[in-house]
Structures are given as C-alpha cells and as structure tokens.
Structure 1
Amino acid sequence: MACRISELILDCTDPEQLAAFWSEVLGYVELDREEDGSIAIGPPDTGFGGPQPILLLSLSSNPRPARLRLHIDVSATDRDQDAELERLLALGAKPADVGQTGTESWHVLADPEGNEFCLLHTRIQPL
C-alpha cells in the first residue's frame, strides 16, 4: 500500500457547529483546535493516523462556491437505515435533492451548512 486517507477537510463558516454535528454522526470527538478557528475531530481512541480518517472543519469565509466534487457517504453500524435517517434528521441534517430518481437505496442529505452526504442502505460493522 502506498497511501491511505488520513484526513478529510471540509471548508465551513461555523466549524463549531459542524464539528458538533459530524461528531454526533460519526461518534468522533474533538482532537484539536487550530489558531485560525479550525477544529479537528476523529475517532476517540486512535485520533490522527488511525484506521479511520479524521475530519478537519476548516474556517472559511467562502466555503462553497459550487456543488462539492467530493462528498461523504455514511453507513449505520448499530441500526437500520430508517432509524439512522431519523437520528440524522434530528441532529440537523436536511434532505437534499441532487437529481436523484427516488429509486436509489440511499438517502441524500445535507449537513447544517448544506454540504451533501449520503446515508447508504448497507449496515457495516463498527471498528
């Protein structure tokens, strides 16, 4: 293996809000705060360099000029898709329309700043 994804960076106007949202979605904890206001979150036991990438919520005054070219897919680990969808909506996710037909097995959602992500149908094992 040559490389492995170690972190994903998401530009945002409110790192505090998105760090709280994504920490709840992924079961992550705050790992670090940068002087520029950015917040790093990641798995509670391993942090940076572990088997899962960390997420860096990077403060930006212009975070989203166009549709994202990269998005996050999530899969439930301890409940079915419907129960996880209900949980994500309660956390502040909103349904998003990116042109889906309605026959997809996944749900397209947006986080509190409008960044699209998908909730997949397949449940996976927790790490």
Structure 2
Amino acid sequence: MHLDIHVDADRKVAEVERLIGLGAQLIETHSDRGPVTYVMRDPKGNEFCLH
C-alpha cells in the first residue's frame, strides 16, 4: 500500500520537518507532475508521498 498525504502548500515544509523529527526519511523531492511532492519513507521502510 502506498499513501498519498495531501497538505496545504504553505504547510508542506513544516510537515516534512515534523515527520523527519518522528523518524521518517526524505527520499526525493519533485515537481514534474505539478505541485511539489516529497517522497518519504517511514521508520519501517514504507514509502509515502506528501503532496
């Protein structure tokens, strides 16, 4: 299962920082499909995207 989490544009950076503080890893950032998307991995290795 892959989660896509939608966050208001003005809150994305703060949410990425919060999730990193909880043990997530930032894998990559891209905007090739529109808004900036942060691809992350939780502490157990599951990937998810923050849109």
Per the shorter chain, which TM-score range?
0.7 to 0.9
TM-score (norm. length: structure 2): 0.72
TM-score (norm. length: structure 1): 0.32
Q: Which residue of 2 aligns with 1:110?
A: 41
Are 2:19 and 1:82 aligned? no
Gaps of 5+ in 1: 1-69, 121-127
Given that 2:30 and 2:38 are in contact with CA atoms closer than 8 Å, whether structure 1 keeps it comes out as: no
Taking CA–CA contacts closer than 8 Å with sequence separation of 6 or more, which of the two structures ends up with the larger relative contact order? 2
Structure richer in strand, relative to its length: 2
Structure richer in helix, relative to its length: 2
Q: Which residue of 2 aligns with 1:55?
A: none
- The number of residue pairs the alignment matches comes to 46
Q: In structure 1, how many angstroms separate the alpha carbons of the residues matched to 2:22 and 2:49? A: 15
Q: Larger Rg: 1 or 2? A: 1
Name the % identity: 41
Q: In structure 2, how many angstroms separate the alpha carbons of the residues matched to 1:108 and 1:118? A: 5
Root mean square deviation, CA, Å: 1.9
* Runs of 4+ with deviation above 6 angstroms: none
